[in-house]
Structure formats: structure tokens, C-alpha cells
A and B are shown apart, each in its own frame.
Chain A
Amino acid sequence: AQTVTQSQPEMSVQEAETVTLSCTYDTSESDYYLFWYKQPPSRQMILVIRQEAYKQQNATENRFSVNFQKAAKSFSLKISDSQLGDAAMYFCAYRSSSGGGADGLTFGKGTHLIIQP
């Protein structure tokens, strides 16, 4: 079974600065998909960014980018120019390539990101 580890229960960053959230995972598969989700106090889970394991290029979405290190099984999220609206719980998640996506995501325990004004 796959496991996802987020070692930082809480992180704090000054507004406009850069912060990196860490995520490591354990799998025996060679093909899989990784996601970062954001959950603000409103509780809605929002997709931040996704990465296919077979792609070497790191995914980027505006101020959000990942550092995907397949050999190290690491998938960190970098948030540049942090904004107050980035304050939320962030979850790293893993999806197997088998099962047609039907077998759910495996989530880390989450990192609570605080933005200091």
C-alpha cells in the first residue's frame, strides 16, 4: 500500500515571501499521479497543482510550483509571493495509475499554512 508523509504539521511565512511544503511518499509503482490540494476554512477542497510521474518537467501553476524528485519519492510544493488568501490546510495526495482512477487518493496528514501580514 502507498503512504504519503507530510512532515510539517504547521508552517508560517511572511506575506510576499516564498514557502516550501514538503511531501514524501512510498510506492512500488513506477507510474502514478501526485496532487496538492488546498482546504481553506470554508472546507472546500481545491486542486492546487498536479504532476504525472512519467513527466520529468516540474508542474507550475502561476505562483505555485512543485519540485518532483521521482528517485527520492519527494513532491514538495513551493508558493511564491505568498498572499493572505493562501492560508489554508494543504494536503499532498497520491493516485495509482491502475484501476482507472477508481481506487481513491491516498492523502498525507496535511500542513497548516499560516500567512503573517
Chain B
Amino acid sequence: DVKVTQSSRYLVKRTGEKVFLECVQDMDHENMFWYRQDPGLGLRLIYFSYDVKMKEKGDIPEGYSVSREKKERFSLILESASTNQTSMYLCASTESGLGELLNQPQHFGDGTRLSIL
């Protein structure tokens, strides 16, 4: 089974801090994603990466950056945390491909509930 591991289940930080959320997958997937989940808003894509050192902005990238130095690891960075970034953050991965491979699901981690005080 695919395993996507997020380093923290709960995290509390202060405004202005630099925050790192880490995600590791064990299935050699090319594609990795960071989503933010808020009540009533569903999941929204922050950033994604299709290869090492490659990154693309999603729908809500403002205030975030990412790093992918190794294929298995994808980090989300809050450069200067603000209270409006209090949320649940979900990491996901999937293999790349065309045709039938596109019906492969994204595999999600258990989420990090981040509180910014």
C-alpha cells in the first residue's frame, strides 16, 4: 500500500514564524501536492510538483512556498505565518502518466492541523 506520511498531526505556531510542513511518500510517485482544507470550502490546491526541484502554483499559493529536493519529500513552507493560515493541510501523491494511469487516485496523508496564534 502507498504510504504518505505527514510529519505532524497537530502543530501550533505563532504569527510571524517560519513554518515547515513535511510530507514523505514511499511509492516513488512523480507528482506531489499540497492542499488546504477549510470547513465549507473543501480542499484547495496550494502547490504541486511533478518532479524533483519542479513546482507549480495551484489555486491559492499566496503566502506559501514549497521545496522538493528529493523525489519522496515535498515540503510546504509558510514564510511568515499569519492567523488566516490556520487550517488543515493535506499532502497527496500520485504517479504520472497518460491514459489509464490518470484514473489512479491521489493518495493522501493524514493531514496536519495547523494553528497560528
A residues adjacent to B (C-beta < 8 A): 6, 9, 33, 35, 37, 42-45, 47, 50, 52, 91, 95, 97, 99-110
**A101 x B102 contact (CB < 8 A):** yes
Can you list 8 A-B contacts with CB-CB less than 8 angstroms, sorted by A residue number? A9-B40, A43-B88, A91-B42, A91-B43, A100-B98, A102-B96, A105-B45, A107-B44
Q: How large is the interface on B (under 10, 10 to 19, 20 to 34, 35 or more residues)?
A: 20 to 34
**B48 x A35 contact (CB < 8 A):** no
Query: B115 at the A/B interface (Cβ < 8 Å)?
Result: no
Indicate with 1 or 0, residue by residue over B84-115, a CB within 8 angstroms of chain A CB atoms.
00001010101111100111111010110000
Q: Which residues of B contact A105 (CB under 8 A)?
A: 33, 43, 45, 106
Within 8 A of A (CB), among B29-61: 30-31, 33, 35, 40-45, 48, 50, 56, 58
In the complex, A1 Cα to B106 Cα: how many Å?
20
Q: Which residue of A lies closest to B108 (CB)?
A: A45
In the complex, A97 Cα to B95 Cα: how many Å?
14
From the candidates B31, B42, B88, name the one contacting A110 in the complex (CB within 8 A): B42
Q: Which residues of B contact A102 (CB under 8 A)?
A: 30-31, 48, 50, 56, 96
Q: Which residues of B contact A9 (CB under 8 A)?
A: 40
Q: Which residue of A lies closest to B50 (CB)?
A: A102
Number of A-B contacts (CB under 8 A): 66
Q: Which residue of A lies closest to B33 (CB)?
A: A104
Q: Which residue of A lies closest to B43 (CB)?
A: A107
Tell me, rounded to whole Å, the shortest Cβ–Cβ distance linking A101 to chain B: 5
Greatest chain A CB density within 10 A among B102, B108, B111 is at B102
**A35 x B105 contact (CB < 8 A):** yes
From the candidates B94, B105, B110, name the one contacting A43 in the complex (CB within 8 A): B110
Tell me, rounded to whole Å, the shortest Cβ–Cβ distance linking A106 to chain B: 8
**B45 x A104 contact (CB < 8 A):** yes
**B48 x A45 contact (CB < 8 A):** no
Tell me, rounded to whole Å, the shortest Cβ–Cβ distance linking B40 to chain A: 6
In the complex, A9 Cα to B94 Cα: how many Å?
28
Q: Which residue of B lies closest to A92 (CB)?
A: B42
Q: List 14 additional A-B contacts (Cβ < 8 Å) besides A100-B31, A102-B30, A102-B31.
A: A35-B105, A37-B105, A42-B110, A43-B111, A44-B108, A45-B90, A47-B105, A91-B43, A100-B50, A100-B102, A102-B96, A103-B48, A105-B33, A109-B42
